[in-house]
Structure 1
Amino acid sequence: MPPATRAHAPAGRPRDPEVDRRIIDAAVQLYGEAGWAGFSLEAVARRAGVGKASIYLRWSGKEQLLADALAARVANVADSDTGTLRGDLITLTRQLLRVYLGDARRAAHRIAVEAPGIPEVARRWTELRESQVLAARAMVRRGIRRGEIPENTSVTLLLDTLCGGAVMHIMTTPDGLVGQLVRDADRYAEELVDFLLHAVREANR
């Protein structure tokens, strides 16, 4: 069973992890397509090919289900220490690209707008985003301590530029070119990071 759902399952017979996966996947897909207004446990159950009772055995309602589904499939940006700032930032960028180019991309775009209106989802989403920001800031601070970039570098501006640039690049790519973007994602991550680090060093000469 995915970690996000484990705490909500009642004691008793172990749940089928395949059913958990199907429900999580169905919830993310449905939310991405229909948004909160079109999100219901009945629709998730139909898409997952399970009875609604199977969902209620695991989640108390649709807010809790969506919060767990997003945590499992969308919010997966984590700290990574490759030994260099360049390597860390490339890994960070690749993680962002996977989120916004993967199967959950529609849900990722929607939740940024709709989360404030969904209390349980908003709370979980805020916690997850804060943990991701802390992980990203840790990468940059390690680079500063190693002397890879000047110590007066603004961590906030660097990450705003990097993450904002990656997401904006995805959002402005025409639908017909998304497949090419997916294929070129690793190269793009390297080029974006190299461009940004060069600009940071040049600005502090």
Structure 2
Amino acid sequence: MSTAAGRPRDPEVDRRIADAAVDLFGRTGWAGFSMDAVARAAGVGKASIYLRHPSKERLLADALTHRLADVADVDTGTLRGDLVLLTRQLLDIYRGESGRAVLRLIVEAPSIPDVGSRWESLRESQVLAARAMVRRGIGRGEIPAETSVTMLLDTLCGGVLMHVWSAPEHLQARMAADVESYAAELVDFLVGAVRRDI
């Protein structure tokens, strides 16, 4: 992709701008977000940002698209495997380098034009992937047919969010090291709670 003058865009500058935008939003929220602050953090001129993004709303929305991956619906062959993978994906989103920005988005995105639609797209990917996983599990007879898909997923996603949100700073490194075991324990607890002899 080229600029209007025909010069190719520098992908390294694109990455620095996106990283700076998401990190700044994570630290300051929308109230502290500005083109000037992003330019300073990225080490680029403000003109470089305006060449790529016409407004600060579009800047943040584009940066989020660059940094936040949609949740993938991967069929591992078992409900447990699918839900463990989903839990790990959610932990990566909420706990990763962009985690602070994601937590702010939960509260602020609906009031920010362009950004709200990007956040809704990410949330929709989570919902569609998660519901497909549970429905496959019901179809395979791994959990009862009358299991509430919504209640199971509300509990799973809420558990992940609270696990990340409530962890004190001094336990962050330990939480990062325990991602695999936490994902397995949470899923085993939930699936065990809804299973019965069928």
Fold-level similarity (TM above 0.5)? yes
| C-alpha deviation, 1:100, in angstroms | 1.4
Alignment-mate amino acid for residue 189 of structure 1: A
Q: Which residue of 2 aligns with 1:93?
A: 87
Q: Which structure 2 segments of 5+ residues have no match?
A: none
Q: Is the 8 A contact 2:70 2:125 kept in 1?
A: no
Residue 35 of structure 2 is aligned with which of 20, 35, 41?
41
Render the CA deviation track for 1:147-205: whole Å, top value 9, x for unaligned: 11111111101100111011111111111111100100111001100111011104x76
Render the CA deviation track for 1:30-78: whole Å, top value 9, x for unaligned: 0011110110111111111111111112111110111122223235322
Residue 56 of structure 1 is aligned with which of 46, 50, 60?
50
Spell out the pairing of 1:65-84 with structure 2 (5 A cutoff).
65-84=59-78
1:62/1:9 Cα in 2 relative to 1: closer, same or farther (>3 Å)? Answer: farther
Alignment-mate amino acid for residue 24 of structure 1: A
TM-score after normalising by structure 2:
0.93
Q: Distance in 2 between matches of 1:87 and 1:66?
A: 34
Alignment-mate amino acid for residue 187 of structure 1: S
Q: Distance in 2 between matches of 1:112 and 1:195?
A: 26
Counterpart of 1:153 in 2: which secondary structure? coil
CA RMSD after TM alignment:
1.8
| C-alpha deviation, 1:14, in angstroms | 2.5
Q: Is the 8 A contact 2:131 2:149 kept in 1?
A: yes
Render the CA deviation track for 1:117-141: whole Å, top value 9, x for unaligned: 1121112211221122111111111
Q: Which residue of 2 aligns with 1:193?
A: 187
Residue 117 in structure 1 maps to residue 111 in structure 2? yes
Q: Is the 8 A contact 1:75 1:129 kept in 2?
A: no
Q: Distance in 1 between matches of 2:12 and 2:118?
A: 24
TM-score after normalising by structure 1:
0.90
Q: Distance in 2 between matches of 1:131 and 1:148?
A: 24
Q: Is the 8 A contact 2:26 2:98 kept in 1?
A: yes
Q: Distance in 2 between matches of 1:170 and 1:141?
A: 27
Q: Which structure 1 segments of 5+ residues have no match?
A: 1-5
Q: Is the 8 A contact 2:71 2:122 kept in 1?
A: no
Residue 18 of structure 1 is aligned with which of 12, 15, 19?
12
> Identity rate of aligned residues, in percent?
67
1:187/1:9 Cα in 2 relative to 1: closer, same or farther (>3 Å)? Answer: farther
| C-alpha deviation, 1:11, in angstroms | 8.3
Q: Is the 8 A contact 1:82 1:88 kept in 2?
A: yes
Alignment-mate amino acid for residue 78 of structure 1: A
Q: Distance in 2 between matches of 1:145 and 1:72?
A: 35
Q: Which residue of 1 aligns with 2:140?
A: 146
| C-alpha deviation, 1:105, in angstroms | 1.2
Alignment-mate amino acid for residue 123 of structure 1: S
